[in-house]
Structure 1
């Protein structure tokens, strides 16, 4: 409880600064915006009862992936990861020196105001992040997400492509664009794959496509 009270004022100021940062106008060319592709690995699929065990992120600036700023964090969960380690490969022994979730969230706010966020099937990642911000600090920052899965669904529907089972899974989407496919369920690798997919989707778009167009496609 005391740790939460100590951290809340600092993060509250960070949330205010994050929310005050101006995002590009809706008519801004999508190719000129800044993005942060991110992925979470969790102990389950329910944000209210499960926990984040790792976070990976990869910034994109001027259509270039910024590998030097890519980060991967193991997160200390309040309980054992249990059998979920089968899926994400993170075991309790790996988390001895893991980061505090509140510290990682604070770093995200401090470094990426003015960015749009990208995730593949963002609903799940977004739910965990929003609940974590609310749970630890009592306030959720204004984060605008673009969902590469929804963009792919929109474009395949528009082209009349019949989707086979699992067609929208990240590895299958990457394979369609002839992009490298890495092992799934590693937060940094999946964030990197998501960044590659979004840049490929942008490349296939018309030159004047706006950030609002991309947001609309990802809904």
Structure 2
């Protein structure tokens, strides 16, 4: 209880500062915005009962992926990872010196005020992040997400393309743009792949496309 009371004011201030910094407004050219591509690996697909085991992120500034600022964190969950290790490759023995989730969330808030967040099938990552903020600190920051999966679905539908099974999986989307495909279910590699995909989607867009347009396509 006392540890929680000590953490809450610090993070509350971080959330307050994070929310006080406005992202670029809706009319801003999408190419002029800052982004953070992010990916999570979890023990399952249900935010209320499963847990985050790793987080990876890659910033995009001036349409350039900032690999020197890329981060990957292993997160120690409160329970064994169990059979989920088959999918994400993280075993209990790998988590001996893993990061505290609350500390990683604080770093996210401190360093990425004013950024738009990008994820492939963001609904899942977003649900886990929001619940983690709520559980640890009683407040969810205002994080605006763009979903590269939904953008791809929108564009394929608009072109009248009949989608095959698994056409919207990240590796298949990357292959469609002739981008490098890495192994799936590694948070940093998937965040990097998501960043590559978004930049490719942006490149295929008209020159004056705004951030509002990209948000609309990603719904």
Q: State the partner residue of 2:93.
A: 93
Q: State the partner residue of 2:63.
A: 63
Secondary structure of 1:165's partner? coil
Task: Tell me by how many angstroms 1:5 deviates.
Answer: 1.5
Task: Tell me by how many angstroms 1:2 deviates.
Answer: 2.5
Task: Tell me by how many angstroms 1:23 deviates.
Answer: 1.1
Q: State the partner residue of 1:24.
A: 24
Give a deviation string over 1:168-207, Cα, whole Å, max 9, x none: 0000000000000000000000000000000000000000
The alignment status of 1:7 with 2:29, answered yes or no, reads no
The alignment status of 1:79 with 2:79, answered yes or no, reads yes
Secondary structure of 1:168's partner? coil
Q: State the partner residue of 2:116.
A: 116
Take 2:4 and 2:127, find their aligned partners in 1: how far apart are those partners? Answer: 21
Secondary structure of 2:107's partner? helix
In structure 2, stretches of 5+ residues that fail to align are none
CA RMSD of aligned residues (A): 0.4
Give a deviation string over 1:129-184, Cα, whole Å, max 9, x none: 00000000000000000000000000000000000000000000000000000000
Alignment of 1:51-200 (within 5 A): 51-200=51-200
Task: Tell me by how many angstroms 1:25 deviates.
Answer: 1.3
Runs of 4+ aligned structure 1 residues displaced above 3 Å come to none
Take 1:97 and 1:105, find their aligned partners in 2: how far apart are those partners? Answer: 17
Secondary structure of 2:185's partner? coil
Take 2:192 and 2:199, find their aligned partners in 1: how far apart are those partners? Answer: 11
Q: Given the two structures, how large is their TM-score scaled by the length of structure 2?
A: 0.99
Take 1:148 and 1:164, find their aligned partners in 2: how far apart are those partners? Answer: 18
Secondary structure of 2:77's partner? coil
> How many residues align structurally?
219
Take 2:180 and 2:5, find their aligned partners in 1: how far apart are those partners? Answer: 44
Task: Tell me by how many angstroms 1:113 deviates.
Answer: 0.3
Take 1:176 and 1:4, find their aligned partners in 2: how far apart are those partners? Answer: 47
In structure 1, stretches of 5+ residues that fail to align are none
Secondary structure of 1:118's partner? strand
